[in-house]
Amino acid sequence: MKRYTLSFLVSCAMALPLAMASDAGQILNPIKAASPASELHWQDDKAQMDAFVDVLIGRMTLAEKIGQLDLQVGQFAADGVAISNHHQERIREGKIGAVSNHYGAKWSQTLQRIAVEESRLGIPLLIGYDVVHGFKTIFPQSIGEAASWDLAMIEAAAAVAAREAAAEGVNWTFAPMADITRDPRWGRVSEGAGEDVYLVSKISAARVKGFQGADLASNDTLMATAKHFAGYGLAQAGRDYHSVDVSERELWSTQLPPFKAMLDAGVGAFMTAFHDLNGVPATGSQRLLTDILRQQWGFEGLVISDYTAINELVPHGYARDEAHATELALNAGVDMDMVGQLYSRHLATLVEQGRVSEAKIDASVRRVLEMKWRLGLFEDPYRYSDPQRAETEVLSEYNLALAREAARKSFVLLKNDNQTLPLQADKLGAIALIGPLADSKRDMVGNWAGAGDRRHRPVTLKEGLEARFGDELTIHYARGASNKHDVPPSNRQGFQAAIEAAKRSDLIVLAMGEHDRQTGEASSRVSLSLPGNQLALMEELKQLGKPMVLVVMSGRPNDLQWADQHVDAILHAWYPGTMGGHALADVLSGDHVPSGKLPMTFPRSVGQVPIYYNMKNTGRPYDATNPKQRQEHYKSRYDDAPNTPLYAFGHGLSYTRFDYGELQLSSDTLSMDGALTAQIRVTNSGDYAAEEVVQLYTRQRVGSATRPVKELKGFQKLHFGPGESKVVSFTLTAADLAFYRADMQWGAEPGRFELFIGTASDQLRSARFTLVD
């Protein structure tokens, strides 16, 4: 293995292959910069890094520079992922700077050896992978992790994923996704953290910190990627890749803040989005990638396109041809081309034609090389490839235990009439376990499940219940129904076996939902109902008159109206991950108490979409609790359904009962430079030790621009013993009340406010205060 000091490299720059320099960057606390620019800088020896990169760029041919801006994918093989012989040769020629869909300690060592020891300049590779909610130990689907509202756990889960992936040679993950969305038809809601800008910002920053740790050059961390920049979650009609047309106020108020939060948390890379934003494709948007990201926010890291997104500027109708697309993307600020090979095909010619400057290419190359420096790759290109570390780290006892805990925390108890849950074996002789997701290993881990073993490793609900109850409880299993789109409700295949199992049982546990490919990228739906003939089977089973518990597994809010009316208990489990079956058994048995809260509103039907808690009032607001308004026609209302959701943002029940006392404020006024404290006593009035997410919201009654009916401003997830009371306090300042005012300047406005604290966005205690100059 070759290692050289910087001084030796500089003095011998024309003679030796580059290998290793020292002191890759460590993330520092934010350094003050002029608002609204970013406050983040990495702790680099800038002079040393700049000198190193200057020498290296000075030695590079144009072809080698362009090669650093090209990312190519590996090809899956039986022992992991291989890279084609053609791509290996291009690495030797210095014409590939990064690869993805590649993992394996030995394979990554092989590739780095080609890059470092067989190419002219010896520049190591970035090796990326979609480590989204786990690498081989799979944690709950991202939307499920968000439902935990547990930032420490989310950060810890990302750190585990990073340790596993890094041991297998990966040094870069294409996550987190921070797209705010209010449309559950969009399949990629499963990859994000929901509808609320405050919650998504906190969770996204926690994931960045988990992936990258305190030292980006550590051999057990990954460079994270903020995606998809920006507005992707508002795709028209909920259809993936579709257009987005959004106002400046909405863009700055809800879509951009989570990305700024990740930037401030130290994220190393940004990824462009597929859609066009207000008529300009995001991958060709100089305003997004240069004006906002670079100039206003001061981002110093790497910008990469999404998969072939540069090529797609042509069908968008934004570029005449692929050469034009290349010109537009690089000049807009896209440093690296993911897979599309347009930079490698066209940049040299564009430089000759004067349509792209070599200085512009040099700037992008510099950013690629700087991130390789910060990852420590010039010091040791093999630091992320360690077969022995992989052997002990991947799927370790600790990792699996944390995945089980994360899954338990992600479950949301939507309904629990008559204390149907938890299951009590001493009162139940037998239960029927019915549904297409009851014993499906693949569907436990959901979509974007990294390098997870889908066939053997995941624990199913059936396996979890059998392990937990053993001989205490007889379990009669029948698949019963199908969740495939092409199976009509009239198809009754499997129904009779399910009915017979239910007849022999005291209680029915239904495992229904979507299979893993029904949510995620390119998995948009026009219906939110449970697909296939699942509902038809539930209707049949209801006629037996037995208690019914529905466990829903999916990556989005579903239409659960029928279940809400007819099923005794509903537990939403998302896709719970590798240890999901054990975690479900833990919660269904009462060994652990559910504590999840919804990060997205659940509509009554798809006709309410988009629906979200922090909407604005209209000039004719409708209040269903007001008897007079129920008789008025000319209000903002539906004729055939309530305005309210089926389950509100922040909703989530427990096996115990939490009582909220009176809300008290330290003052009824708040000055612009002061602070206000809100306190409320919360009591666990039940028999179970449990966690509760205490949520804080505010409302500005009058503003220079219309304001939401409420906005999340804080939350605390706290543990309570049976009968325990705690006084929960929040501190609020004027900065917490700032927004983009009528003139699009950021700041707070004096006036009347309401403050709310409670267990969900629709179950709150309130008090009033005034913000004064």
The answer to whether the beta carbons of residues 218 and 374 sit under 8 Å apart is no
Detail the DSSP E strand segments found in 74-140: 75-77, 80-82, 98-100, 126-129
Q: Using CA atoms, how far apart are residues 25 and 552, in angstroms rounded to an integer?
A: 44
Q: Using CA atoms, how far apart are residues 288 and 285, in angstroms rounded to an integer?
A: 5
CA 604, 607, 610, 611 torsion: positive or negative?
negative
CA 461, 462, 466, 472 torsion: positive or negative?
positive
Q: Using CA atoms, how far apart are residues 378 and 449, in angstroms rounded to an integer?
A: 30
The answer to whether the beta carbons of residues 684 and 722 sit under 8 Å apart is yes
**Whose structure tokens read 């093999």?**
382
Here the tokens at position 411 are: 């479950």
Q: Using CA atoms, how far apart are residues 582 and 481, in angstroms rounded to an integer?
A: 23
Q: Which residues have a catalytic role annotated? A: 306
* Contacts for 520 with CB less than 8 Å, ≥ 6 apart: 187, 188, 190, 191, 446, 447, 448, 555
CA distances from 517 to 183, 381, 447, 512, 560 (A): 18, 36, 7, 15, 20
CA distances from 732 to 446, 667, 694, 707 (A): 39, 11, 15, 18
CA distances from 47 to 54, 682, 707 (A): 10, 54, 47
Here the tokens at position 572 are: 């939403």
The answer to whether the beta carbons of residues 29 and 42 sit under 8 Å apart is no
**Count of C-beta atoms within a 10 Å radius of residue 650:** 25
CA proximity to 234, closest of 287, 274, 282, 179? 179
Here the tokens at position 243 are: 């257009």
CA proximity to 332, closest of 288, 363, 365, 267? 288
Ordered DSSP codes for 716-756: EEEEE-TT-EEEEEEEEEGGGG-EE-TTS-EE---EEEEEE
The answer to whether the beta carbons of residues 154 and 205 sit under 8 Å apart is no
Q: In what order do the strands lie in the sheet with 569-572?
A: 412-416, 569-572, 548-553, 507-513, 430-434, 474-478
The answer to whether the beta carbons of residues 608 and 522 sit under 8 Å apart is no
Here the tokens at position 96 are: 């590939």
Task: Tell me the longest C-alpha to C-alpha distance in the chain.
Answer: 87
Detail the DSSP E strand segments found in 488-605: 507-513, 548-553, 569-572
* Contacts for 11 with CB less than 8 Å, ≥ 6 apart: none
Q: Using CA atoms, how far apart are residues 266 and 460, in angstroms rounded to an integer?
A: 37
Tell me which amino acid residue 179 is.
Answer: D
* Contacts for 153 with CB less than 8 Å, ≥ 6 apart: 145, 402, 405, 406, 409
CA proximity to 114, closest of 89, 95, 77? 89
SS3 29: coil
Burial of 14 (0-12, 13-18, 19+ CB in 10 A): exposed
